[in-house]
Amino acid sequence: MKVCIFEDSSWKNFLPLTYTRAVFDLRCGIYSHKTRIFNHYKNSQKSFLVREELEDLYKERYQDITVNEFDEGQFLFIHGSLIYSGDIHTVLHTLRVGEGLFNNDTLIAAKIHFKKPKKFSVNDLDKIIVDLKKIETDITCNEYTWQLVERNHQQLIYDFTDFTNGKTNFLLQDGSFHVINPDNIFIEKDVTLEPGVVLDARLGPIVLDEKSHILANSVLKGPVYIGKNSRINVSAKIYEGTNIGEVCKIGGEVEETIFQSYTNKQHDGFLGHSYVGEWVNIGADTNNSNLKNNYQPVKAYFYPTRNFKNTEMQFFGSVFGDHTKTGINVTINTGTIIGVGCNIYSPALFSGLIPCFSMGTADHLGDLHLHKMLETAEIVKKRRNLKLTTAERSLLQKCYDESSHLRKIFHKVKR
């Protein structure tokens, strides 16, 4: 069976994170949605169904996976915002060709036979599924970014067994660092643990992936995942529910937060119940609020309705779009959504929505010109021996154009 992970119009619910990636590349628990699905179909031919604006980027990044093109044969379509599991896998295994699982009007999965090669994008999804026999299911997809933050804690616990299955644990208790509940701690090869590190897995597992580096006197309280080649700085406090992707440098105090890859928060400052994209740099003593003083549910800007939505969560901090930077002593209010490519500074309190490509202070916010942002992105990626590709530039240009109306509404000055 050939497997296709698809996204539908609900990708807009996860903006600004999905300006620069498909919904299935968002993280929750140890894995991204995509990786968790593909782990169940390791020997299957794989494909993606994405928006047209993502097509070139995904063809560039995943050259062994077909994008928006389907040859003859049977395909299992799986919604990209599912947190896939063995139970879901069992249900999907019972589907027959021509059948689709639906939760109300949302397609969860379907088995489809193409009699000849086809080319589609997300806009063609209705054509693909029009003749399906509909089967109702209680399986649900994630709908909002704050759900990923809320579910991350428990998902880290669920993923621990799958991640460690059949692998060698390189945890060696040499006395220079302190371990609590070692059965709940898994260390991949080439991990460095400096003196004074505390790994406390009483409340949940801790996973340190390959070549991660935990500097002296840091405390990690599970459930926590530290990705490949990531570094935790001296005396950092990494609390439960924290999920850090590849090639990140993290310091200070972090709680219940998801980091994509290639992001730095090296210095002191608190970040809680947040979701941070890629190529973000969070300056020294940047702090966010994750709880309102009146303990009421947090409201956050919701792109599809162009309004603020009740998250129904008592704890929710911030969202940082890709390539965003904060200066020293920045303070961020509960539920603040910060777009792609922003550069914000000053200790005045940032709140609500910071549109993509914004620059300035909380009371004097204006446009960050695209060419300036691209110059910085080029420098930053070069430091990791990477380059800003033509497909990435094109996508950032589209993001800049599409977010212009929000800058007109929310900016107080023009640059």
Count CA atoms within 13 Å of residue 382 on its CB side.
6
Q: Tokens representing 339?
A: 């777009």
Residue 239's pLDDT is 98
Looking at 125-139, 275-289, 322-336, which range is the least confident one? 125-139
Spell out the residues 6+ positions from residue 27 whose beta carbon is closer than 8 angstroms to its own: 148, 152, 243, 245, 258, 260
292-308: per-residue pLDDT in tens?
Answer: 999 999 999 999 999 99
Architecture of the CATH domain 2-143: Alpha-Beta Complex (3.90)
Q: In the predicted model, what is the mean pLDDT of residues 259-270?
A: 98
Residue 174's pLDDT is 82
**b or e along 2-36 (b: 16 or more beta carbons within 10 Å of the residue's beta carbon)?**
bbbbbbbebbebbbbbbbbbbbbbbbbbbbbbbeb
Give the predicted TM-score (pTM) of the model.
Answer: 0.96
Residue 1's pLDDT is 81
Residue 413's pLDDT is 52
CATH code assigned to 147-410: 2.160.10.10
Residue 415 has pLDDT above 90, yes or no: no
- Chain position carrying tokens 């709940």: 184
Residue 401's pLDDT is 96
Residue of 374, 358, 294, 293 whose CA lies nearest to 320: 358
116-131: per-residue pLDDT in tens?
Answer: 998 998 988 988 888 8
CB 311 within 8 A of CB 317: no
Q: Tokens representing 26?
A: 């968002």
DSSP reduced 3-state for 402: helix
CB 324 within 8 A of CB 350: no
192-251: per-residue pLDDT in tens?
Answer: 999 999 999 999 999 999 999 999 999 999 999 999 999 999 999 999 999 999 999 999
DSSP reduced 3-state for 344: strand
- The pLDDT-based confidence of 414 (bands split at 50, 70, 90) is very low
The share of the chain scoring above pLDDT 70, in percent, equals 99
Mean of the per-residue pLDDT values of the chain: 96
**H or E segment at 277?**
none
Q: 16: cis peptide before it, omega within 30°? A: yes
Domain ranges across the chain:
2-143, 147-410
334-373: per-residue pLDDT in tens?
Answer: 999 999 999 999 889 999 999 999 999 998 999 999 999 9
Residue 97 has pLDDT above 50, yes or no: yes
